[in-house]
Amino acid sequence: MKKLAIACDHAGFDYKELIKKHLEGKFEIKDFGTFSRDSVDYPDFVHPAATSVENGENEFGILICGSGNGVQITANKHQGIRCALCWEVELAELARKHNNANMLAVPARFVTEELALNMVDAFLSTEFEGGRHQNRVEKISFC
């Protein structure tokens, strides 16, 4: 069973719980928090989740906050992370197909629960195309 990291802030807590339930039995899920709707600082949860994907402990990661921006920016500070902020299913598919994204950022305040689940499903079921995209992905890591 593939391993998946998941993390959120207070604005993403309800969606995190929904996504975990939706993926139950399909993935081995490591929940990095937060574990309530109490206000928190998202980097405290995103950095450990991103590190786990970066070091191969988890294959993919799902991050959720109000806008998706904060979690995405934080995750992308990690050298081995390609985190895509998505608000449509096609964007989630293209993030995997063309960019080999390994983390998905979901903007809980801007997408419905149904759309969030559809994006997660698309992201996790879409394979990287490689080919002409491989060289581009290799150029992403600058250092």
Q: What is the pLDDT along the chain (143 residues), one digit of tens a residue?
A: 999 999 999 999 999 999 999 999 999 999 999 999 999 999 999 999 999 999 999 999 999 999 999 999 999 999 999 999 999 999 999 999 999 999 999 999 999 999 999 999 999 999 987 777 877 878 777 65
Residue 54 identity (one-letter amino acid): E
Token readout for 115 is: 């759309």
pTM: 0.95
Q: How far is 103 from 5, CA to CA, in rounded Å?
A: 9
Q: Tell me the residue type at 137.
A: V
Domain boundaries, the chain: 3-138
Amino acid making up residue 95:
A
Of 83, 87, 74, which is closest to residue 102 (Cα–Cα)? 83
The active-site residue out of 65, 78, 83, 86 is 65
Respond yes or no: is residue 98 known to be catalytic.
yes
The verdict on whether 133 is a catalytic residue reads: no
- Please pick, among 10, 22, 47, 98, the residue that the annotation labels catalytic: 98
Peptide bond into 74 cis (omega under 30): no
CATH, range 3-138? 3.40.1400.10
State how far the Cα of 11 lies from the Cα of 77, in Å rounded to an integer.
21
